Homo-oligomer: A and B are copies of this chain.
Amino acid sequence: MASVTVRNFSVTLGAQPVIDALDLDVADGEFLVLLGPSGCGKSTLLNAMAGLVDTSGGRIEIDGVDATWATPRERNIGMVFQSYALYPTMSVAGNLSFGLRARGVPRAEVQQRVQRAAALLQLEPLLSRKPSQLSGGQRQRVAIGRALVRDARVFLFDEPLSNLDANLRASLRRELKLLHQRLGSTMIYVTHDQVEALTLATRIAVLYNGRIQQLGTPTEVYDRPANRFVASFIGAPPMNFLEGRVSITQGLRRFSVAGLELDLGHYRPDADPLAEGETLELGVRPEHLRLCDDGTHEAEVTLTEPMGNSSIIWLRCGGAQWAALAAQQSLPRVGSSARFEIDTTGLTLFRVGDGTRR
């Protein structure tokens, strides 16, 4: 129900600036996922949006009206705090219902909304407990519930699922998606889990050094990272980075790196075409290294990390380390040699200096 616009927004905590001159437009009804390394200012940004910390500059608009000085109540924002910040003296039920009661929602409705939230988050048996009597994950779920019972215009989630087990997380993820579709309210969601990010987001914003590094749809961010940081930050296991040179022989562009010659036929640079002899950094995602007996390249297996339904296989080839993602279960022996090929459609090239996408 609301768009959020942030204009050259700055927040300074203690001494150093955490957010500086940040611009961000969140469209009405959007599900924006905020990604960024630990300590980059995600929570601070959410707090500032909610009007909980003083901004040292800039303005924020909700639905086009200036809300820079609006009280949290006026903004009507729902938030899940990273440190759950539950009301320690209230029961779970009390925590869930407090906001509603404070806003004078009729008793019956409060009842029924709390019930719904509790059911959704599997909290029914705990409704009468105090937060101190809950497990970590249960506390987190209460924190989620407290935000969800209210139909806010904007929801801010700060790593809401980090302490939940995989199944619960998956189901809540689905629930959130449905909820978002049903309410159509704007959601800003901080997470470190890339599955969450990619499955939930309509758009992803990558925050780093107090600025937005890239803002785009999941596939954009994943397939066409704006710079080396974004590329390295998104995707687990992370991208392989190797420096090499562009060479052009009778019209076809190739990239020579660590003794390999990769065809750049499919590569579409952002700016002017690749020039002979350019030194660039190559980025290849592990899933684009395919192990197969008829692979073009030969390598030695140095380490294997099984991850259940897939495994990381570390290869040494031409003095360089490559990580490959293999779906199959049967892992090659460490020390054995394996053949692999690189899906050249998935290559990315970065300038060596500023790391921007070439």
Contact = CB atoms under 8 A, between A and B. Distances in A.
B165 A233 contact: yes
Number of copies of this protein chain within its complex: 2
Chain A interface residue number, banded: 35 or more
Nearest to A16: B125
A346 B234 CA distance: 31
Interface in A117-173: 133-138, 141, 158-159, 162-170
A336 B136 CA distance: 43
A12 interface: no
B308 A165 contact: no
A332 interface: no
B162 A162 contact: yes
A356 interface: no
A59 interface: no
Interface string A230-250: 001111111000000000000
Nearest to A287: B309
B166 A163 contact: no
Contacts of A82: 136, 163
A13 B126 CA distance: 13
Contacts of A133: 13-14
Interface stretch (A37-45, A70-78, A98-106, A269-277): A37-45
A124 to B, nearest CB: 12
B141 A38 contact: yes
A218 interface: yes
B169 A39 contact: no
Interface stretch (A49-57, A191-199, A254-262): A191-199
A340 to B, nearest CB: 14
Interface in A177-223: 192-195, 198-199, 218-219, 222
B192 A163 contact: yes
A195 B329 CA distance: 15
A43 B136 contact: yes
A137 B40 CA distance: 10
A308 B198 contact: yes
A306 B199 CA distance: 6
Given A165-B192, A167-B238, 9 more contacts: A35-B165, A38-B164, A159-B163, A163-B192, A218-B308, A236-B309, A286-B309, A309-B325, A325-B327
